[in-house]
A and B are shown apart, each in its own frame.
Chain A
Amino acid sequence: MPGFAKTSASKAVSKKGNLGNTLHDDALQNNGTLLGADELVLNMGPQHPSTHGVLRVKLKLDGERVRGTECVIGYLHRGVEKIAENRTYQQFAPYVDRMDYVAAISNGLGYCEAVEKLLNVEAPPRARVIRTILTELQRIASHLVWLGTHALDIGALTPLFYCMREREEILKVFEKYCGARLTTHAFRIGGLQYESYDGFEKDVERFCNDFERRIQEYVDLLTGNSIWIGRTRNVGVLNAADCIALGASGPILRAAGVKWDLRKAQPYASYDQYKFEIPVGTNGDTYDRYMVRIEEMRQSRLICLQAIEKIPEGAIMGKVGKVIKPPAGEIYHSIEAPKGILGYYIVSDATTQPYRVRVRPPSFINLQALDKMVRGHLVADVVAIIGTLDIVLGEVDR
């Protein structure tokens, strides 16, 4: 008992600002009422389990309702665009893998094709088909990472491990192809460095055949689950007009009902040879984005299956010299990366090093829509919405 008296006495003197104070002093000063509504500023991140990296979001809360946000980014800024100006064209290619590191192959494809356009050369057909297969596998892998982490954010623990199990199979194919799993540097300017290994088609086919069943597992776990629907329906709605105004692209745009995909609109690699659908949503909410991505995985699987049926024979490298020195000028080339429009704007001054490389990172621009999407929602929805944006901070910050 004496301990009680002592602590309480010392506390009475030393206690200045416990949380209640800091919260309510403002309120007292502002409107002088005891029960006046206060705004609480909650700092999410940069170390937070569900900001998918070092994103920091300042949330202005009223209770648990979000009244406004501010994103603080740049914690992972490495100056990739500056580095590009000091490397040759080939030397810079591995750097692009480090931007969206869960979809490194897509980044590489965009960069290689942009430089090829700048050089006015084309990769040979065989190279383009192999590129397509690997890029589509990468799209599946990227969506799997998204699905697992998104479900984890919403509280479903198990899909993450199933997704990682399937992604592992894809990464094994990458590893067999080029020796790397994450930052692959699989493509070269002008084509490919490596021939596809023996049994490449078989590996891809086996994966694709298994994968249909696997997708069904996720669908069983999530799609019809009423908690999942409750957490994602009408959460983070972004309609088509807002998407376009905010530049949000990829699955976000398609979930809003815009049937637009660069693979169809302006085909690159060998996408014009394959039949596939563009899945679209109707409401543009988190659930639609989930459905669109699930369906995109199915379509990617179909593309892979069609592509491995006929990989043309021939060279895998186009006519590109050892020293790449594009004529002066500039090029903008964009592809449909798993996260949206990935664009490269390259200015050449007819030297071996690019004069300027600008990357249009889909994550960076999609992240801008966060504020619009979370206003009026609860803190729990912020987590769901960050997840549904599918951002990679390496790409946001570059």
Chain B
Amino acid sequence: MADEPKPPQSDSPKPEKPGGASTPPAALKPPAAPVTPPAAKPAPPPPKPPPPVQVPLDNELTRRYREHFGAAILDALEDRKQPYLVIDVANLSEIARYSRDEEKFDLLEDLTDVDWPRREKRFDLVAILYSFPHNTRLRLKMAVAENERPASLVELWPTSNWLEREIFDLFGIEFAGHPDLKRILLPDGWQGHPLRKDYDILLQDSAWVRENLGIESGQ
């Protein structure tokens, strides 16, 4: 535990800048971070080339992770000076345990999800870890298919209990080994998962609303 505040420093760890100036073309990006938006919004060509926002990362930390987990670390990237690892969801619990115990990322700051419906594995599960001793953050990012059941992190971090319930509620990802996986923000009998991209903002479970609230529409 950080007894003393770390001296002020910038928001991210000090990873070595990638030595080569060779910025990879956007097309080479891993599937985890597609640059072409799946939504049907063709990005108009920007006036000047956008800054290279995602660059491969190769520092001590990522090397250690690669050493330990080899192929399970699919990629290590840095986006706006914030590092993240793209990992295989099958190895989630081992990597999380290693992060907590060996790398001292002792706080699971957040666990959330992003929906990319056009992708083969449509969900990006994102765990944001913070290390009190090193005052650094690390994101673990993993692609999850619609019927895949990632391992629950409740054993490691009790805080992920409600976070996983929220993801289950709003995205419909089931976590294997969660003690009490049920809806948290929406009522128990609700149909659908609102934060999926195919759930329109005007859509709602009208049957539920009619039945339980006695009104035609909640809008």
Give A contacts to B, CB under 8 Å. 73-74, 77, 79, 81-83, 85-86, 117-118, 120, 240, 244-248, 258-261, 264-268, 272, 278, 325, 327-334, 341, 343, 345, 347, 349-351, 355-356, 358, 360, 364-365, 368, 372, 397-398
Contacts and interface: CB of A to CB of B under 8 A. Distances in A.
Which secondary structure characterizes the binding site on chain B? Answer: loop
Given A360-B128, A364-B162, A365-B162, 7 more contacts: A74-B183, A265-B6, A329-B54, A330-B33, A332-B110, A345-B112, A372-B158
Contacts of B201: 79, 82-83, 85-86
A264 B5 contact: yes
Given A82-B195, A349-B37, A351-B37, A331 B5 contact: no
Interface string B155-179: 0011101110000001000000000
A209 B162 CA distance: 42
Contacts of B207: none
Interface in B28-68: 33, 35, 37, 39, 41, 43, 46, 50-51, 53-54
Contacts of A398: 185
A259 B110 contact: no
Interface of B: 1-6, 8-11, 33, 35, 37, 39, 41, 43, 46, 50-51, 53-54, 79-80, 82, 106-110, 112, 114-115, 126, 128, 132, 135, 137, 139, 157-159, 161-163, 170, 183-187, 194-195, 197, 199, 201
B37 A355 contact: yes
A247 B114 CA distance: 21
Contacts of A81: 170, 195
A102 B198 CA distance: 34
B79 to A, nearest CB: 5
5 contacts: A77-B185, A240-B1, A247-B157, A345-B128, A368-B159
A82 to B, nearest CB: 6
Given A120-B51, A343-B109, A350 B43 contact: yes
A179 B131 CA distance: 40
Contacts of B128: 332, 343, 345, 360
B79 A329 contact: yes
A82 B194 contact: yes
B159 A246 contact: yes
A349 B106 CA distance: 31
B94 to A, nearest CB: 19
Contacts of B53: 327-329
A356 B3 contact: no
Contacts of B199: 82
Nearest to A347: B114
B23 to A, nearest CB: 13
B37 A328 contact: yes
Q: Report the 10 A-B pairs with minimum CB-CB distance, sorted nearest first.
A: A247-B159, A349-B37, A264-B5, A327-B50, A74-B185, A329-B53, A360-B110, A358-B112, A77-B185, A356-B114
Nearest to A330: B79
Contact of A368 (B11, B110, B158, B185): B158
B162 A259 contact: no
A368 B139 CA distance: 22
Contacts of A355: 37, 39, 114
Given A260-B132, A327-B50, A327-B53, A349 B39 contact: yes
Contact of B41 (A83, A351, A368): A351
Contacts of A259: 2-5
Contacts of A79: 194, 201
A373 to B, nearest CB: 12
Contacts of A245: 157-159
A272 B187 CA distance: 44
Nearest to B199: A82
Given A74-B186, A77-B186, A259-B2, A345 B54 contact: no
Contacts of B11: 117, 266, 268, 333
B110 A265 contact: no
Nearest to A117: B80
Contacts of A248: 159
Contacts of A365: 159, 162-163
Given A74-B186, A244-B1, A260-B132, A332 B35 contact: no
